[in-house]
Structure 1
Amino acid sequence: MSHAGAHATLCHAAIVTPQRVVRASLPIRAGQIDAYAVPSAYRLELRNHVVFPGLINAHDHLHINAVPPLHAKEAFSNSYAWIEAFQSHFNDPDVAAALRIPKPLRLRHGALKNLLAGTTCVAHHDPWHPAFEAEDFPVEVLRDYGWSYALGWPGYGPPVQESFAATPADWPWLIHLAEGTDKIARAELARLDQFGCLAGNSVLIHGVGLHERDIDRLIAQGAAVVWCPGSNHALLGHTLDPHRLCAAGRLALGTDSRLSGARDLLEELAGINGRYELDPSQLLALVTTDAARILRMPSRGNLLPGAPADLVIVQDHGGDPVSSLIGIERSQIRAVVRDGVPRIADNDFAEWFAAAGVETVPVVLDGKPKLLAADLADPALLEMEPGLEFEADLAHRKHEPAFAGRSV
């Protein structure tokens, strides 16, 4: 994403990462954080604001976020039982209609869902797709990775041992593992270890069935887990204890798709805030620095010179600036920035859009007026996202006369 007028300096904001809070200016040059301000840059006064790195969603399936979920009467013992139960759900007309939408549009919708909630980078646990290479794709997608789907579902994705062997040691290798509470799930780490597929680049998704000794083994190997508590509670009625993995820096947070998980990463953060005795800096690390390290993306999750200028800007309500992001809803974000330019923001950021050469469209997000970059304002895309609509459509509906029931 390239814009000629993208040089900017964000002035007097609280610049926040899990390790530190500084009140300073943040220079942006050519889409990256810079060490020095550009004299001719657009200056944006952000007193009483907090700037965070763009968030990292460490696990999503971008193409199925508009598929209606399967509503079960009771928890499943493992994900394989859920997958089996879902087969008949494909016959649901709403599911079939959602899956008829072209895949590139479904992928773009999953990306937009993430962007609206301040997520600018996503690990998509499925094959790479050419749609991700579009210059205006809403988020950055993890590109250098290996993956298998799961030990107990060999019909989809690359074979486990062959995929692991083919993945460079400096790339993450992703697999759903121990996604359940029964003996099948609890035995999976030992099976993976026997296959020779547990190493420092192994990234295990869910891990609900891990024993304490499994956690010991994971930490000793330098492997990591992506925690998706919303999805875990919805499908399994249980999730893992995050404390030891979090303390070791071996835990990241993911949403899974809306097929089973939370609406977005902000909702996931709000759901765990205060529930697991993790402080705000630990929660922020799960979606920034720790996630970046686990996914082998050293330039992500920070605001250091040379990092992509992917930012989340929120209002500072006083108190601990780190807490300003935890517990808010997506409509409360003031601006989401990718490569140094706003992509969706409150209306009073219009001048910044103009300075960056970005055309905008007025929209309403969960009842809040916003400006959306015009290249994201595809009507088919907005139609897929609940809570997001063109401002003109909302105004038209408000002024549309109600049907009074008279004969015509």
Structure 2
Amino acid sequence: MPHRVFASAPRRDTPGRIDPEPQPLPHQRHAFRGELLSVSRDPSLHGAEAIRHLPDALLVVEGGRVLACDDWAAIGSRFADLPVVPLPGLIVPGFVDAHVHFPQIDCIAAHGDQLLTWLERHVFPAEAAFASRAHADGVAAFFLDELLRHGTTSALVFGTVHAASVDALFEAALARNMRLIAGKVLMDLGPDFLRDTPETGRSDSEALIARWRGRGRLGYAVTPRFALTSSDAQLASAAALLAGHPDVLLHTHLAENTVELAAVAARFPDAADYLHVYDRFGLVGPRSVFAHGVHLSGRAWSRLGAAGAGVAHCPGSNLFLGSGLFDLAAADAHGVKLGLGSDVGAGTSLSLLAAAADAYKVAQLRGHPLDPFRALHLATAGGARLLGIEREIGGLLPGQEADFVVLDPAATPLLARRTAGRSLAERLFALQILGDDRAVAATYVAGRCAHRRQPGFSSPRAPA
């Protein structure tokens, strides 16, 4: 029996959300055909064997997971009765944003200041508005739709000090079936209008874990903002939360800015370095995700590697706030887990293509070039490993959840000119450096279309 091809016109069900073809029921088996690329292992360690490139692939999905993914010629006959969606462009795993602040979307691109004054002037006032659940609901919906529009299907997200901000985010993520890990900010030393206590921080966190654990594709992260905004009692409480829930992450900031480092050293004069502050409270381990790590000592890098902890590299925000240049070579030398983070609102784009472009530029300044295949790994499977969800997503491997993005190498006239007739490496690098949300033709979550760019992207007939 010949394959059937979905070819109906796009349908808009809700503003900003477009269904480009008939949506399968969750239990149905269906398939996609096109060029596919995934980098499930770090090519800096595993070389070309880490890269899977299928110029004409068949991706079969059942129950939201990958049932099969191989060359059309190898498996097409096995699935001849399935409807097939032809996907022009380059199919890659969904992007994983390893560090982002959803409440800061409204203060993105705030002028001036470095980290500490930027927080006081722009971020804390913006986050205070999340005392209103209605405000949190509106921002959460906008934020998640923007993630999908940029090709991000999974993320590790900061909420605010308000427990309801996390409720709003999780509720919106559940409705979109996104894989999201988030947590209520702990900051009992914050400004008067934006603080909790060690007791309320812990009780709110416990209640959120109980309320959302096991629902959809959601996960929780214990989230002290950073060492300066939590008392010793609250840092100890965060460690107790982490120890009491072996399925949650620790998500915080580390060694981002030199002024911040000096303030941490003044408050904790007996600590060997910034990381040691967290370590003394039991917050450094295999479930710890530290954002930035721009200014780390050799001792700290060694400890991160030995503990199995990881760092979310956020080059866009490090450049925007003037924080410094991340040392990729040091991370590699100590075997530290890495992923890419947009860090909006200090980051100026939710696009992980833009983050990868900034990572390349920072690496160039450090004399440590970043290969485009490794950049894709960091934005997908590397981020998944950092977040402890590598079994579920990141490689489009059989059994994994079918989150993927279709990139359009001809999204702009310049990209089209730069990529036409080029090798895979050249096309991928051009997408990394010149691409942004315009290059995301479509985003699929668990095999169902969650976003399609309009206008100008249409599915041709399936390849012969």
Instruction: Please give the per-residue CA displacement for 1:25-72, whole angstroms capped at 9, x wherever unaligned.
Output: 11112221112765443213346x321110000111113302354322
- Alignment correspondent of 1:180: 257
- Alignment correspondent of 2:155: 122
| Structure 2 contact 315–355 (Cα < 8 Å) conserved | yes
Which 4+ residue blocks in structure 1 deviate beyond 4 angstroms? 36-39, 87-91, 346-352
Distance 1:173 1:319, change over 3 A: same
Q: Shift in Å at residue 121 of structure 1?
A: 0.7
Instruction: Please give the per-residue CA displacement for 1:253-279, whole angstroms capped at 9, x wherever unaligned.
Output: 111123x21211222122223541111
Q: 1:284 & 1:304 partners in 2: Cα distance?
A: 16
Q: Shift in Å at residue 229 of structure 1?
A: 1.6
- Alignment correspondent of 1:338: 445
Q: Shift in Å at residue 88 of structure 1?
A: 9.0
Q: Show the 5 A alignment for 1:366-385.
A: none
| Structure 1 contact 171–296 (Cα < 8 Å) conserved | no
| Structure 1 contact 16–52 (Cα < 8 Å) conserved | yes
Distance 1:151 1:207, change over 3 A: same
Asked whether 1:8 is paired with 2:30, we answer yes
Q: Show the 5 A alignment for 1:13-52.
A: 13-18=35-40, 19-23=50-54, 24-35=57-68, 38-46=79-87, 49-52=89-92
2:344 alignment partner, one of 257, 273, 276:
257
- Which amino acid in 2 is paired with 1:310? D
Asked whether 1:83 is paired with 2:105, we answer no
Asked whether 1:54 is paired with 2:133, we answer no
Moved more, 232-241 or 288-297: 232-241
Distance 1:239 1:136, change over 3 A: same
Distance 1:100 1:25, change over 3 A: closer
- Alignment correspondent of 2:237: 162
- Alignment correspondent of 1:380: none
Q: 1:58 & 1:217 partners in 2: Cα distance?
A: 20
Distance 1:144 1:38, change over 3 A: farther
Moved more, 144-153 or 320-329: 320-329
Q: 2:276 & 2:451 partners in 1: Cα distance?
A: 45
Instruction: Please give the per-residue CA displacement for 1:177-218, whole angstroms capped at 9, x wherever unaligned.
Output: 222114235732121222232222221112222122211121
Distance 1:55 1:65, change over 3 A: same
- Which amino acid in 2 is paired with 1:9? A
| Structure 1 contact 249–290 (Cα < 8 Å) conserved | no
SS of the counterpart of 1:109? helix
- Which amino acid in 1 is paired with 2:236? Q
Q: 2:37 & 2:441 partners in 1: Cα distance?
A: 15
SS of the counterpart of 2:35? strand
| Structure 1 contact 289–301 (Cα < 8 Å) conserved | yes
1:271 alignment partner, one of 358, 370, 388:
358
Q: 1:170 & 1:138 partners in 2: Cα distance?
A: 19
- Alignment correspondent of 1:105: 138
Q: 1:110 & 1:350 partners in 2: Cα distance?
A: 26
- Alignment correspondent of 1:140: 179
Distance 1:162 1:88, change over 3 A: closer
- Across the aligned residues of Structure 1 and Structure 2, the Cα RMSD in angstroms comes to 3.3
Q: Show the 5 A alignment for 1:299-310.
A: 299-310=392-403
Q: 1:12 & 1:177 partners in 2: Cα distance?
A: 41
Q: 1:243 & 1:120 partners in 2: Cα distance?
A: 28
Q: Shift in Å at residue 148 of structure 1?
A: 1.5
Q: 1:87 & 1:44 partners in 2: Cα distance?
A: 43
2:292 alignment partner, one of 167, 191, 206:
206
Q: 1:192 & 1:7 partners in 2: Cα distance?
A: 47
2:424 alignment partner, one of 320, 323, 326:
320
Distance 1:195 1:132, change over 3 A: closer
Q: 1:193 & 1:96 partners in 2: Cα distance?
A: 33
1:71 alignment partner, one of 99, 103, 111:
111
Q: Shift in Å at residue 302 of structure 1?
A: 1.5
Q: 1:100 & 1:306 partners in 2: Cα distance?
A: 37
Q: 1:90 & 1:312 partners in 2: Cα distance?
A: 31
Distance 1:254 1:136, change over 3 A: same
- Which amino acid in 1 is paired with 2:386? I
Q: TM-score, normalised by structure 1?
A: 0.73
Q: 2:361 & 2:124 partners in 1: Cα distance?
A: 38
Distance 1:82 1:351, change over 3 A: closer
Moved more, 205-214 or 321-330: 321-330
Distance 1:154 1:252, change over 3 A: same
Q: 1:87 & 1:224 partners in 2: Cα distance?
A: 25
| Structure 2 contact 87–459 (Cα < 8 Å) conserved | no
SS of the counterpart of 2:175? coil
Q: Shift in Å at residue 244 of structure 1?
A: 2.8
Q: Show the 5 A alignment for 1:195-234.
A: 195-234=281-320
Q: 2:109 & 2:429 partners in 1: Cα distance?
A: 31
Q: 2:235 & 2:398 partners in 1: Cα distance?
A: 38
Q: Shift in Å at residue 87 of structure 1?
A: 7.5
Q: Shift in Å at residue 100 of structure 1?
A: 9.7
Moved more, 29-38 or 335-344: 29-38
Instruction: Please give the per-residue CA displacement for 1:374-403, whole angstroms capped at 9, x wherever unaligned.
Output: xxxxxxxxxxxxxxxxxxxxxxxxxxxxxx
SS of the counterpart of 1:152? helix
Q: 2:108 & 2:311 partners in 1: Cα distance?
A: 27
Q: Show the 5 A alignment for 1:389-404.
A: none
| Structure 1 contact 181–236 (Cα < 8 Å) conserved | no
| Structure 2 contact 309–336 (Cα < 8 Å) conserved | no
Q: 1:324 & 1:9 partners in 2: Cα distance?
A: 28
Q: Shift in Å at residue 312 of structure 1?
A: 0.8
Q: 1:330 & 1:84 partners in 2: Cα distance?
A: 30
- Which amino acid in 2 is paired with 1:60? V
Moved more, 275-284 or 114-123: 275-284
Instruction: Please give the per-residue CA displacement for 1:82-119, whole angstroms capped at 9, x wherever unaligned.
Output: 3234489669xxx979x897211101111122111110
Distance 1:115 1:56, change over 3 A: same
The number of equivalent residue pairs is 341
Distance 1:273 1:84, change over 3 A: same
Q: Which 5+ residue runs of structure 1 have no aligned equivalent?
A: 353-408
